[in-house]
Amino acid sequence: MKPPRLLAPAVILALALALRLALFTGFQASDDLNYIRYVARMNAGTYVLESNPFATRFGLLVPMAAAFRLFGPGIVQAILPNLIASLACVLLAFAVGRRLADGRTALLAALLAAFLPVNIHHATEVHADLPMAAWMGLSAFLWLGSSGRMRPAFLAGLALGAAHLTKEPAFFLFAFVFPHGLLAADRRRPLAAFVAGFALVAIAEVAAYGIAGDPLFRIRSTGGGHAQDVEQHYATAGQILHRLFVEMPSMLFNPMSPMAPFFGIFYLAFAAAAAHVWIAKDRAGRLALLWWLALFACMNFFPLSLSPFRPGFVARPRTLEPLTIPAVLVVARSAVLLASRRRMLSAALGAVLLVDILAAVRLHRDAPLARENIVAAHRFLSGRDPGRVVSDRRMVEALEFLDRFRSRHRYAVWSDAPPGEPCLVVFDGYWLGNDLKYYGMSPPAWTKRLPAPLHEHSAPLPRSIRHPRPTGRGPKLEIREWRP
């Protein structure tokens, strides 16, 4: 008796969920705080539009707000949209593989997506890239099944609209869909339906912002923010060329790169697989590769400012989440074509998956560094009598979140003038060092005249694959007392 057709993908999905929960990333006190700030305002009825990319990504903010409303604020509730999106990417890798090729390609693609470290890591933290990638994957799946049919193409456009509401670069998928639609006679009418579906969402969004006062509000605020972020890192032609031909390739293909744990050796396998499917003239493999190349080209060359060209993203692993589904399809398709060489294939896939797991474990071990001092400060303050606590904005917002917005203390962001009443002053060496390095921000002058710390904390740095023994202690947390 044959096992049920859906048993294998169900097992892979269960394995993917187990990996993501076992290697939980959690609170990072970084971009997640920006999203949490606006979600809290939504649920409190105090939300107003701000010229900030995080404030207008309603495709992420609304699901988070719903989770907070249903279950209360907390990190598990905050990461639910990302966890669901990550599992959706695994299912979509299976679905697209089956649509383009066959069951074996589908299962291998789902397995590779389930083990990919960048997807595991971002499944349990708050970022818009993974939910956007899931909507883009759904859009591509519907589009690829729309040959001669209008309804799936229209739904594909709506799905891409949802991706756009989640994060701005979703429209990069047009770089794949437009050529694919124009070159095939049976897809030209569906292409019009695809555009109509996306346009419906875009027009509704512009109309909503128009009611709020500026129809182009999101374009002005987030477009400028993206360009500014990129230009801070890549201001000269030399920096741009370094990003394109050194930084990005190193992140993907150099196992010794600081970013290597996000990808393991997957992209080395991808490079070999891409060459193989192209030389073999495999239709499904080539189509997946063209999908990947279209997105990758936009990420690197789409002009975000008036410069002749500017990389679409700072080289951060999470921005490459939309590449996951086409990438695993290329590798899976190449593996199926090499099915006759079972020993070599098993060894190669086994090595990729093993390194993936080791890399994901390293990311998991490194994840607490960003929140370690914040959690230690919260633990210390929880045992103190209610009072005034002063720190930088990040620490204040993080402590309020950890208190589930029902704090006994009165938190305040420090200013140039010292407080007029006694208070505790919290210094997080991890994030203060980061702010000084990248933004030139430092605590106000009066904080340098405080007495010896009431409390100090410094966690040991985690073991990792490259550093099997503890390498020292992390940046210090200090809590001092101010008395006017």
> Per-residue pLDDT tens for 116-128?
999 999 999 999 9
- Examine the domain organization and report whether 413 and 326 are in the same domain: no
- Examine the domain organization and report whether 162 and 235 are in the same domain: yes
Question: Is residue 1 domain-resident?
Answer: no
- Examine the domain organization and report whether 379 and 361 are in the same domain: no
Overall number of domains in the chain: 2
Question: Is residue 2 domain-resident?
Answer: no
Name the residue among 30, 48, 45, 39 with its Cα closest to residue 71: 39
* Res 304: pLDDT: 62
Q: Which domain holds residue 432?
A: 369-482
- CB burial of 102-134 (b: ≥16 within 10 Å; e: otherwise) equals eeebbbbbbbbbbbbbbbbbbbbbbbbbbbbbb
- 382: confidence class by pLDDT, cuts 50, 70, 90: very high
Which of residues 303 and 366 earns the better pLDDT score? 366
Candidate ranges 7-16, 237-246, 292-301, 368-377; pick with highest mean pLDDT:
7-16
Among 302, 334, 366, identify where a domain stops: 366
Record the pTM: 0.93
Return the HEC string of 205-253.
HHHHHHHHCCCCHHHHHHHHHHHHHHHHHCCCHHHHHHHHHHHHHHHHH
- Examine the domain organization and report whether 94 and 236 are in the same domain: yes
Determine the Cα–Cα distance for residues 214 and 388; give it in Å rounded to an integer.
Answer: 39
Q: Which two tokens stand for residue 31?
A: 């971009």
- Examine the domain organization and report whether 155 and 181 are in the same domain: yes
- Examine the domain organization and report whether 235 and 218 are in the same domain: yes
Question: Is residue 242 domain-resident?
Answer: yes
Question: Is residue 63 domain-resident?
Answer: yes
- Examine the domain organization and report whether 354 and 399 are in the same domain: no
Q: Indicate the pairing of strand 388-391 with strand 423-428.
A: parallel
Question: Is residue 184 domain-resident?
Answer: yes
In DSSP terms, 390 is beta-bridged to: 412, 425
- Examine the domain organization and report whether 353 and 394 are in the same domain: no
> Per-residue pLDDT tens for 289-329?
999 999 999 888 877 654 445 566 677 899 999 999 999 99
Among 311, 333, 366, identify where a domain stops: 366
- Examine the domain organization and report whether 293 and 213 are in the same domain: yes
Determine the Cα–Cα distance for residues 76 and 189; give it in Å rounded to an integer.
Answer: 43
DSSP code at position 45: T
Q: Which two tokens stand for residue 304?
A: 């975000």
Question: Is residue 241 domain-resident?
Answer: yes
φ/ψ of residue 413, rounded to 5: -80, 135
- Examine the domain organization and report whether 180 and 278 are in the same domain: yes
> Per-residue pLDDT tens for 129-169?
999 999 999 999 999 998 889 999 999 999 999 999 999 88
Question: Is residue 98 domain-resident?
Answer: yes
Which of residues 479 and 226 earns the better pLDDT score? 479
Among 366, 396, 422, identify where a domain stops: 366
- Examine the domain organization and report whether 360 and 384 are in the same domain: no
- Examine the domain organization and report whether 418 and 467 are in the same domain: yes
